């Protein structure tokens, strides 16, 4: 979290926290190559440039290739992302702004 906040100016606390939580889960998967710090920073920079305030399914899935290098790893990460977002939704209720996304297209 500290590295993300230091290396990606303007990243919001919520997005940084969610990326760290998701990455902890993704790194436990059986992957050909786990995401590095550099790849994580690239992904957070891309999300920040798209004005993403918190992870949402559509944009996170579209940008996961920034984080993962192999198609099989991307598929596994997609499944983990869906599980993460479902658990978050169950804990917090509907995601604020889900229907009216605050990002660039």
Candidate from 39-48, 55-64, 88-97 with smallest mean pLDDT: 88-97
Nearest to 59 by CA among 1, 18, 93, 7: 18
> Does 97 score more than 80 pLDDT?
no
Mean local confidence (pLDDT), 27-51: 93
Whole-angstrom CA distances from 37 to 2, 16, 24, 27, 58 are 12, 13, 12, 11, 23
Mean local confidence (pLDDT), 60-74: 89
Please state, rounded to an integer, the average pLDDT across all residues of the chain: 86
pTM recorded for the entire structure = 0.80
DSSP state of 37: H
* pLDDT level of residue 105 (50, 70, 90 thresholds): very low
């Amino acid at each position: 979290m500290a590295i993300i906040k230091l290396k990606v100016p303007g990243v919001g606390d919520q997005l940084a926290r969610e990326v760290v939580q998701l990455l902890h889960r993704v790194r436990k998967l059986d992957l050909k190559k786990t995401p590095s710090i550099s790849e994580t920073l690239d992904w957070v920079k891309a999300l920040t440039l798209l004005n993403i305030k918190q992870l949402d399914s559509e944009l996170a899935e579209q940008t996961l290739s920034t984080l993962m290098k192999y198609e099989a790893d991307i598929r596994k990460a997609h499944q983990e992302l869906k599980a993460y977002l479902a658990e978050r939704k169950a804990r917090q209720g509907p995601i604020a702004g889900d229907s009216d996304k605050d990002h660039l297209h």
